[in-house]
A = this chain, B = another copy of it.
Amino acid sequence: HRTGIMEAILAEGKDPEDVVQIAKAQVAATGRVLITRLGVKHREALESDFKPVEIEWSLHRNAAVVHDGTPSPRTGGVVAIITAGTADIDVAEEARMVAHELGCETIAIYDVGVAGFHRLVGEMLKLQDRKPDAIVVAAGREGTLPTVVSGLVDVPVIGVPVSTGYGAGAKGEAALLSMLQSCSVLSVVNIDAGFVAGSFAARIANTVAKARSRE
């Protein structure tokens, strides 16, 4: 999958048994596979079909990597993932896990959006010491955080709108539009598309890592 999108399994809309079966085939072929957008039934099927040591869960268990012990590649790329609130974590975890599978070191900084500007500036200063090559920022409701982060750093920032909230502009619509209208340097992926954001950030980070390793 050199230039295509990573071979992950989108569980949503598939039968749990089908997910398990495709996952087993993929593990047999390549040693590991990422599965995203898991529901309760998918989770139960994975737990009854794979041993605990073969599953790496995301924070809220809505994504998972199953494997046979084969490690993911290591490229030297570094991707940070930031969320505004707790409701944004599932989408952020998708981005983190796909970046990890694509070889990047990942740094998760969750729930800083409501922390006030001063704590955010502090977090960004600490982050810059760790020299991320790309930053994914997930945010719902009015979606301001990516704009603010991009104004504080000089690495590429990718905004991911998250489908939270109620009323006009809910389900990520206000967040998507305000990221597209942002006055900062920002690129955007679709609502809830943590998978695309992580893949894109990894592509940047791996391009940087390759340049670094040529020294």
Contact = CB atoms under 8 A, between A and B. Distances in A.
Interface of A: 2-5, 12-13, 87, 113-114, 116-117, 133, 141-144, 147, 150-156, 158, 163-170, 172-193, 196-197, 199-200, 203-204, 206-209, 211-212, 214-215
A87 B113 CA distance: 28
Interface of A is mostly: loop
A190 B150 CA distance: 16
Contacts of A197: 187
A3 B181 contact: no
Given A12-B166, A142-B147, A155-B203, 17 more contacts: A5-B184, A142-B144, A142-B183, A143-B178, A144-B178, A165-B181, A168-B190, A168-B191, A169-B176, A173-B177, A174-B177, A177-B177, A178-B178, A188-B188, A207-B208, A208-B208, A212-B212
Given A141-B183, A143-B178, A180-B190, A3 B169 contact: no
Nearest to A7: B114
A207 B87 contact: no
